[in-house]
Structure 1
């Protein structure tokens, strides 16, 4: 039975959603009830150098206001903090806290566990083939950190 291109896109999105939903639920079971997928994207962008709301917004393809709201939530939960810039005392730079890095490590471990579950379901050879085919189709780095903004776009305009 042949499927349409739209079916393929929905299957891929469904696989992504299934993994992310399961990881979010497991993080909650491990005591991180407040973590959402966008928080992972934001903390990774901050760890990679997005040290202000403006820069985080650019990297996630969201508005500065949306980035600021995400930062506020992350600060409230102790996942990121603002430090004084050593070169400009008026400027505050974002950084991921040790707790934030722990959340990222927990998330990575959970995704490894979920991958292991998929491997048990379909077999190691089938999963390896799936990963090999996806890598051939989308490249070794299949997603940029701007996925939250990209998904929320309306007629090509980021929110």
Structure 2
């Protein structure tokens, strides 16, 4: 439960900082979509729905928002004529860089509380635990 509580606190602080940026009304589902699309070239709305654990309609709505806001580009899928391939735009990749910078700030604050050495030990333990996990596997826990 400590991991869950810590992640929730850091996530809340992340979203507080994100709200201070001049961005569209991004929600956590958008962030999970960004992370998935960054590692899944030519993903479709159906792929994204499966990853997020939502209906195709919900994923399609999320994609439409991200396309309208300029974060995602939709193009004909290279192998499935019925689908669209989804890719992050430059704006979408810039958002990921911003998100990574905000997470780095939060990690630095965590290190200031527990100490850099303790954080290094924790980081190594978590990297070991996640060694065989899917790198694009960050998904919501609805």
Alignment TM class, shorter chain as reference: 0.7 to 0.9
Q: What is the count of residue pairs matched by the alignment?
A: 140
Residue among 7, 22, 28 paired with 2:13: 22
1:63-142 maps to which residues of 2 (within 5 A)? 63-85=55-77, 91-136=83-128, 138-140=129-131, 141=133
Structure 2 unaligned regions, length at least 5: none
TM-score in terms of structure 2 length? 0.81
> CA 1:80–1:26 in 2, change beyond 3 Å: closer, same or farther?
same
> CA 1:52–1:143 in 2, change beyond 3 Å: closer, same or farther?
closer
Residues 41 and 145 in structure 1, CA contact (< 8 A), matched pair in contact too: no
SS in 1 for 2:113: helix
Output one character per residue of 1:45-76: Cα deviation in whole Å (capped at 9) or x when no partner: 22322532111112223221221121122123
Greater gyration radius = 1
For 2:134 and 2:44, locate their aligned partners in 1 and report how far apart those are by CA, in whole Å.
Answer: 25
